[in-house]
A and B are shown apart, each in its own frame.
Chain A
């Protein structure tokens, strides 16, 4: 597998997108809250158009998140939205809901579909199932470990995307959990004030040193991991296995932070591509990331080296 894997990152704004492009990102995941989930910022259709123009001029790709759990109401607007995205020539859309497969077939044939069912994208048979339904890529669950991921690549008939850095979503409810709690305490708050920017987090009674970001938006309540995954040290294992796309999740991080993460992963990917045999992980890449890491959030291997039971 000698093709260079793609370095994909989220962007909260056009400004961030330009900066991360300069830092070395190949592709961007953007979108709007109405159709996509847990985006780091809002890109309306006009913004997506600008992003696509910029990206295509610079040899980069734009993927749009249309991965919400869709309701009947959203179905009314989705055909138009998907058609617009096709017209804009976005490079792919991420989906989780089968409704999108049916809608894309009808309204946007030919658009690249990336299957992303979050924590439930867990095996090759299912990924290939969606492949036969039109998906070209599977976004693997972050709860899979290294052996499962590397073992899966050979069985996949679609590309694999793996998150290599950043936080992950660990719980999503349609309920307004923070707003409800505050109201229960007799101190109601404006629901608009409980979003990403507010910096809310939970601490579980017996795990005082782990902070779990929590926020609300129109899609409900989202709880995020207390750690930031970073598999930079062992990225070569994923490159060896032939993973086609590495994702850096930039939600709830500053542009400067994401820039650094992109630069470090860029170096690793480039060096490996130059000569896999001679490739060596450089500890200074990690140091760069550690230097800007929020001290209240641990950098971890996520589930890459965990054995889970059930």
Chain B
């Protein structure tokens, strides 16, 4: 078990991440997460966001709307990085991206398709109190399905464990 965990916790390279994604597609989200029994690794720090269907980004949050209602935030629980000096997919300068993450399955209203979204925490700086805090929980589960759990500090596997903010990264189609 410890070797599996060590492997999962190590920073992903492109090939590993690609395998994770293809496994998720082949076995389906639930069985994949059940099989791992632990955290699903999300977008790894320092790596470019993987290509995905451009339609996933079609419905951008409109100005003045509740930012928490943006479709890709369907299982987010945290302060928005886009209001903390970062963006939807980028951690603010000087922070570090969490090495592990939880995932959600969110439906894009533009195309009606479900997408796997990786919620990475950004770490090593204080939380910005003026940034919007969102608490959405679609598909969320307690810590026995750690990869779907959002009530834990996902900076836990980083050297810098202070919680800063959260990004929502579309990883691909859910099915």
Do they bind each other? no
Which residues from chain A sit less than 8 Å from chain B, CB to CB?
Answer: none
Which residues from chain B sit less than 8 Å from chain A, CB to CB?
Answer: none
